[in-house]
Structure 1
Amino acid sequence: MTDLPLDHVRTLLVAVDAGTFEAAARILHVTPSAVSQRIKALEQRTGRVLLVRSKPLRPTESGVAVVRFARQLAWLEDSARAELGLTGASSSGGGYGDSGDGTGSGGPGRGVPVQTLSIAVNSDSLSTWFPEVTARFSANAAVCFDLHREDQDYTDELLRAGLVMAAISSSPKPVQGCVVRPLARMRYRAVATHGFVRRWLPDGVGATDLAAALTVAPVIIFNRKDDLQDGFLRGIGVPASGPRHYLPATDAYLYAVESGFGWGLIPDVQARQFGQVELVELAPERPVDVPLYWQQWKLAPALLSEVGEVAAEVAARRLG
């Protein structure tokens, strides 16, 4: 990697994070043509196609390796600047860019060395306990968070692609070049309103025909990556669900369940924190536990490791 032109490597990272040549050009204060030419030159240098020219731009398998290298190089710069007390930062979480005022592209103010930490977080954690983690660092002007929302079964893909430096994942298997530590288990329960149960499960939730009822009762699913409800149904021997509503927002999902729109799996921490309506648990003997893990680069800034420590403490306390 040492013979790769660093300005071209940095340009690739900015393009991937920004999503388009035009957006990358604005960050780098060059023309879109210059961005394209730098990346083309880098591809010629490596002999590999590094970027899929789609919207948004996507790194190829070879491009992922270069993007990961660029992001690691960026935070090394951040760390060195912080240790030397230099102003500005290279914006390690979101690419390189210089505002020209000595504060860097991601800094909160003049004269403050800043590290940007890019972290992938699943939606339910992001909506419940993880904000307490970031709040612990609110007085630290040396850090900016760049959080990426993704399903816990897919956050490690962002880590593998070099798009983030750490992730809250459901996988205990570390991504190559990363270390993993357990956080806690997020417990989900299949619930619905009393009115929904009276309509769709007239014999009660403890009846032996619960499985049959759930083949026709409407279910609420977060998005098409969400396998929680289907996993629950498979566990009770239901091959397919009834009508499926997709609501990809945590608050809207809970509101839909509380409105009797359908049944769904709600994490205990969310029900305690935001629940406004008494819900009926459909299968009290079958909660769904999703283990969560903190994954981060082995070679990582101390500040990122500190965030991981806080995440472990908060998750253990809030999720029990």
Structure 2
Amino acid sequence: MLDYAALAAVAAVAREGSFDRAAAALGVTASAVSQRVRTLEDRLGAVLIVRGQPCGVTTIGARLCAHVERVRLLEGEMASALPGLASQIAESGPPTIRVAVNADSLATWFIPAIAAFAGRGDRLVDLVIAGEDHTAERLRSGDVLAAVTTDHTPVQGCRTVPLGALRYAATASPAFVAQWFARGVDAASLARAPVLRFDRRDDLHARWARTLFGHEPDMPTHWIPSTHGFIDAALAGMGWCMNPIPLVATHLRTGGLISLTPNHHLDVPLYWQHARIGTRLLDALTREVVAAAQGGLL
């Protein structure tokens, strides 16, 4: 059997980033937290916390933290029938729902869902940023309880809900278009014009190019790991990039940015997957996510 007091200590250190802050959150001494973590690591034969400033968590440690949150959700489901348990849960603070979401969804339509869900103050959220093609990996590893993903195949133990599609346009500043695409957009011009990419897993530009030309030209790349940084860099003429249309609609309307192919967009279907446990809270979050998607996605 797992020692849940020790698991709570691991989760607190992972969440707070230090043993001192974890101790304050748990109402015990830092030495007690350290002892609990070390005892559990010795018992499991695995390092769970990476000591540092701030402290980090290993892969197995992250899975155990997710397990702790699942247990708290299950306990919350029983609280209405067990008043004594309800009082103990209240003393330990509100449960935290850890969710994986892609940066573009977070920047466009997802925040209203989270705000509506957390508005009562009796539940917390912990958002993890990952590419929409890779958020399901976080579910499979047990790192998160729910995810916005492009994967429609349900992860084992999860439920899938279709949300709609986020439409992207390839955009650039008028000056950039005049410099690099004066004769139009083709594979040769794309092979010369700098493109902006979020990270090494970001392949939206390649998918867009393949729908046009059947292959991906080798493109010179600027790396900018920021959704809003993409817009600023594109406005400054640094490169062309794939932007969610809701985020750049104003710039397209005023002419600050131009769509490279006005009649051709890339639609990325999105799905909501969540664990089947903790039904009450996850169902409430799902309702808010679906409602927000209806207003923000195709």
Report the TM-score range of the alignment, normalised by the length of the smaller protein: 0.7 to 0.9
Which residue type is aligned with residue 51 of structure 1? L
State the AA in 2 paired with 1:142. Answer: D
SS of 1:142's equivalent in the other structure is coil
Match of residue 48 from structure 2: 51
Q: Kindly indicate whether the alpha-carbon contact (under 8 Å) linking 1:185 and 1:319 is maintained by their aligned counterparts in 2.
A: yes
Distance in 2, matches of 1:21 and 1:225, equals: 34
After TM superposition, give the deviation of residue 203 of structure 1 in Å. 0.9
Q: Does 1:314 align with 2:286?
A: no
Counterpart in 2 of 1:223? 199
Structure 1, residues 13-61: CA drift from partner, whole Å, max 9, x if none? 2233334444433422444443333233224444x41525365433344
1:269 matched to 2:268: no
Secondary structure in 1 matching 2:192: coil
Q: 1:250 to 1:132 in 2, by over 3 A?
A: same
> Which residue pairs with 2:174 in the alignment?
194
Larger RCO (CA under 8 A, 6+ residues apart): 2
Greater helix percent: which structure? Answer: 2
Change (3 A) 1:276 1:284: closer
1:164 aligns with 2:144: yes
Cα 1:234–1:36 change in 2 (3 A) is: farther
Q: Report the more deviating stretch, 244-253 or 212-221.
A: 244-253
SS of residue in 2 equivalent to 1:190: strand
Deviation at 1:72, TM superposition (A): 1.1
What pairs up with 1:266-305 in 2 under 5 angstroms? 266-272=243-249, 277-278=254-255, 279-284=257-262, 286-305=264-283
2:43 counterpart of 1:67: no
Q: Distance in 1 between matches of 2:289 and 2:57?
A: 30
The corresponding residue for 1:98 is none
Whole-angstrom CA distance in 2 between matches of 1:143 and 1:82: 16
Residue 250 (structure 1) shift: 1.9
- CA–CA distance in structure 2, aligned partners of residues 43 and 139 of structure 1: 37
Q: Which residue of 2 aligns with 1:132?
A: 112
| Pairwise CA distance, 1:168 | 0.8
Distance 1:274 1:303 in 2: 38
Check the 8 A contact 1:192/1:260 in 2, yes or no. yes
What is the RMSD of the two structures over their aligned residues, measured on CA atoms? 2.8
Given that residues 198 and 226 in structure 2 are in contact (C-alpha distance below 8 angstroms), is that contact kept between their aligned partners in structure 1? yes
| Aligned twin of 2:232 | 255
2:222 matched residue in structure 1:
245
CA apart distance, 1:194: 2.0
Given residue 201 of structure 2, which amino acid in structure 1 is its aligned partner?
A: K
Residues 33-112 of structure 1 mapped to structure 2, 5 A cutoff: 33-46=31-44, 48-49=45-46, 51=48, 53=50, 55=52, 56-61=55-60, 63=61, 65-81=63-79, 84=83, 86=86, 89=89, 102=91, 104-105=92-93
- Secondary structure, counterpart of 1:305 in structure 2: helix
Normalised TM-score (structure 2)? 0.84
Q: 1:24 aligns to what SS in structure 2?
A: helix
Q: Which residue of 2 aligns with 1:123?
A: 103
Q: Which residue pairs with 1:94 in the alignment?
A: none
Q: Distance in 2 between matches of 1:188 and 1:7?
A: 47
Aligned to 1:232: 208
In structure 2, stretches of 5+ residues that fail to align are: none
Aligned pairs for 1:149-160 (under 5 A) are: 149-160=129-140
Q: 1:162 & 1:18 partners in 2: Cα distance? A: 20
CA distance in 1, matches of 2:252, 2:261: 19
1:244-270 CA-to-partner distances (Å, cap 9, x unmatched) read 222222222112212322100111222
TM-score by length of 1: 0.78
The separation in 2 between residues aligned to 1:198 and 1:223, in whole angstroms, is: 27
Counting matched residue pairs gives 291
Q: Please tell me whether the aligned partners of residues 100 and 147 of structure 2 are also in contact (alpha carbons under 8 angstroms).
A: yes
> Match of 1:144?
124
